[in-house]
């Protein structure tokens, strides 16, 4: 803990005036404040519903989540930055989610499972949480909405979001999945596997396709629920 008077703030730093007249600057690895109303406010990814959408109280990236949709093809989650837009669409209807802190849970959005989206200080992450072994190998297809951005994939399955000049705006690591089995010493998953990911081009644009390994999902040793 730092004791002093905050005299200057940016999105990642706080400068304190110490009693002895010196200055101390605390630097954070990520943003701790965002611009709002002509000033800086503390980052708060807690989700709130307003105006038919769900958004963090204060976070970078202009994240917006679906409040539910009776028709397929609505945007599940999106980012807005630098005049560009990236949206992930969900192909089927979405129930109104249950909100808990920074997490939105769309119950039963998939057979025997939920769709879970968690806001972060700079974006979001989404998961499919399966409660039981699926009857067949699942395939999750999320059409992308892109304006002013392009998305590419490397050989490891990681995604990169770039602007029109090629500048990197955001990145997503390769998709993974893990079971509920935890190492009791570190409470980390002991059963996990990569998820095959591909970007498929079509008439309507690109679609992100996730193909979890059915061998992992159907293995009797796999402990459910499984998070993809």
213 contact partners, CB below 8 Å, separation of at least 6? 177, 193, 194, 195, 196
Q: Which of 219, 104, 82 is nearest to 164 (CA)?
A: 82
Q: List, in sequence order, every residue forming a beta bridge with 119; answer none if it has no partner.
A: 124
72 contact partners, CB below 8 Å, separation of at least 6? 90, 91, 92, 93
Intra-chain end-to-end CA distance of the chain, in Å: 37
Concatenate the DSSP letters of all residues of 45-75 into one string: EEEEEETTEEEEEE-TT--EEE--BSSTT-E
The predicted model scores a pTM of 0.80
Q: In what order do the strands lie in the sheet with 196-202?
A: 44-50, 53-58, 64-66, 75-81, 84-89, 140-147, 205-211, 196-202
- pLDDT of 30: 44
Phi, psi angle pair for 216, to nearest 5°: -65, -45
**Each residue of 169-204: pLDDT tens digit?**
778 888 999 999 999 887 899 999 999 999 998 888
pLDDT: which is higher, 12 or 116: 116
Q: Is the pLDDT of residue 109 over 60?
A: yes
Q: Is the pLDDT of residue 41 over 70?
A: no
Whole-number Å distance between alpha carbons of 225 and 213: 15
**Each residue of 52-93: pLDDT tens digit?**
889 898 776 678 999 999 989 999 999 887 778 889 999 999
């Amino acid at each position: 803990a730092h004791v002093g008077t905050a005299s200057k703030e940016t999105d990642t730093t706080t400068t304190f005036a110490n009693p002895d007249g010196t200055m101390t600057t605390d630097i954070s690895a990520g943003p701790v404040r965002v611009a709002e109303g002509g000033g800086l406010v503390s980052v708060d990814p807690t989700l709130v519903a307003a105006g038919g959408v769900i958004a963090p109280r204060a976070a970078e990236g202009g994240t917006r989540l679906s409040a539910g949709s009776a028709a397929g093809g609505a945007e599940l989650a999106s980012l807005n930055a630098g005049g560009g837009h990236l949206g992930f669409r969900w192909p089927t209807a979405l129930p109104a989610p249950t909100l808990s802190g920074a997490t939105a849970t769309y119950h039963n959005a998939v057979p025997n499972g939920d769709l879970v989206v968690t806001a972060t200080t700079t974006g979001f992450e989404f998961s499919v949480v399966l409660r039981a072994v699926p009857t067949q190998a699942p395939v999750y297809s999320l059409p992308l909405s892109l304006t002013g951005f392009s998305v590419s994939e490397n050989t490891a399955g990681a995604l990169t979001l770039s602007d029109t000049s090629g500048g990197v705006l955001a990145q997503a690591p390769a998709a993974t999945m893990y079971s509920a089995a935890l190492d009791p010493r570190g409470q980390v998953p002991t059963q996990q596997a990569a998820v095959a990911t591909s970007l498929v081009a079509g008439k309507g644009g690109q679609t992100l396709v996730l193909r979890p390994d059915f061998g992992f999902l159907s293995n009797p040793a796999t402990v459910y629920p499984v998070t993809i």
